[in-house]
Amino acid sequence: MSKNFNQLKAQMSAEAQKEASLKTQEMLSAMPLQELRQARHFSQQRLAELLSTKQANLSRIERQADMYISTLRSYIEAMGGELDIIARFLEGGVHINQFNDIGEKQHQ
């Protein structure tokens, strides 16, 4: 007989629950574009329509390891998000704002 997740979670120690929660957050904070799209409940077809492109083009974008920042920005914005580019150093992160006007120029 299967148990639901809440029952299983209740049997875990507080430490194990905290560890599982941290691992979940870690997994959710970094994912490929395809998984992000799926987590946001978009099909390739729907997102392609929002981007005024073909589903095959969207599939290609999701497989690319290298792309234009404007392409990535459009992809993220089509799902209702906002793209931030941050350089991380030992001393802390720096928000790179040089690309902020890329989206604005494209929308004009």
Check residue 99 and give left, alpha or beta (phi > 0: left; psi -120 to 50: alpha). alpha
Residue with tokens 């049997």: 11
Q: In percent, how much of the chain has pLDDT > 90?
A: 54
Give the pLDDT confidence score for residue 7 in this predicted structure: 80
Answer yes or no: are the C-beta atoms of 37 and 47 closer than 8 Å. Answer: yes
Give the pLDDT confidence score for residue 101 in this predicted structure: 64
Q: Which two tokens stand for residue 95?
A: 């928000």
The predicted model scores a pTM of 0.67
Q: In percent, how much of the chain has pLDDT > 70?
A: 88
User: Helix (H, G, I), strand (E, B), or coil: what is residue 3?
Assistant: coil
Q: 21-25, 29-33, 96-100, 104-108: which range is least confident on average?
A: 104-108
Q: Which residues pair with 99 in a beta bridge?
A: none
Give the pLDDT confidence score for residue 102 in this predicted structure: 53
Give the pLDDT confidence score for residue 104 in this predicted structure: 54
Give the pLDDT confidence score for residue 73 in this predicted structure: 93
Answer yes or no: are the C-beta atoms of 44 and 72 closer than 8 Å. Answer: no
Banded pLDDT at 81 (limits 50, 70, 90): very high
